[in-house]
Structure formats: structure tokens, C-alpha cells
Amino acid sequence: MASFGYALQGIREALLSEPHLRFHALATAAVVALGFWLRVPRHDWALLALAVGAVWTAELLNTAVETIIDLVSPDFHPLAGRAKDVAAGAVLLMALAAVVVGLLVLGPPLWAKALALSSQR
């Protein structure tokens, strides 16, 4: 049980200290709200949950990598910079993949809803 508490504390600390993670939290809230509004089916929720979870996981791992590098290499070192850049690249790649998933899942029903709303005018 204590392990869950430590894990939740780690997420909390990352949310408080990492602006990018707060952006991901806002994006997650927007995706969830849009999903409810569009009434996406259960299998689409699974895809959205996997995409959101993957982005959060990548961001948390990036935060852990950067924290460890700052601990062991407080002064600039090219390899430390490279490791941080690669970890950040992993987050970027996962975020782009999540955007694609979001467009594929939410795009068609959003487009249909927009057409329906525009035809009512």
C-alpha cells in the first residue's frame, strides 16, 4: 500500500514542478470532456486512454531521467545534455502519436457534429 502512496506522491510532485505535465493534464481534461460530449464508444475510450496514459508515462519518465541527470551531473556535460534531449524526444514522439490517435478517434464524430450543427442554422 505504501508503494501506491509513493507513486501518487511522485505524480503529485511532477505535476507541481513540471509545466509540461500540467499542459498534459489540461489536454487530458479536454480529451475526456470532448469524448463525453461526442459520446465516443467504449473501444474508442480504450484507444484514448492508452494514448493519454502513454504520454503521461513518457513525461514522467522524462522527468525522472532529467532529475537523475541533474543529480549525477550538476555541471553541463554533453552526454547529460544528449540524454535529456533524447528523453524529451521520446515525449514529443509519444505526444505526436497521441495527437494522431485523438484525430482518428475524435475527428470523425466532431466533424459530423459540426456538420449537423451547421445544417441546423
Please list the pLDDT of the chain residue by residue as tens digits (121 residues): 899 999 999 999 999 999 999 999 999 999 999 999 999 999 999 999 999 999 999 999 999 999 999 999 999 999 999 999 999 999 999 999 999 999 999 999 999 999 998 888 7
Is 13 annotated as a binding-site member? Answer: no
| CATH code, domain carrying 36 | 1.10.287.3610
Stated pTM of the model: 0.90
Is 75 annotated as a binding-site member? Answer: no
Which residue among the candidates 21, 31, 56, 59 is catalytic per the annotation?
59
Give the single-character DSSP code of 39: T
Burial 36-69 (b: 16+ CB within 10 A, else e): eebebeeebeeebeebbeebbebbbebbebbeeb
70, burial (CB in 10 Å: exposed 0-12, middle 13-18, buried 19+): exposed
- Total number of domains in the chain: 1
Query: Cα–chain-centroid distance for residue 43?
Result: 19
Is 66 annotated as a binding-site member? Answer: yes
Examine the residue annotation and report whether 13 is marked as an active-site residue of this protein: no
Give residue 63's domain range.
2-119
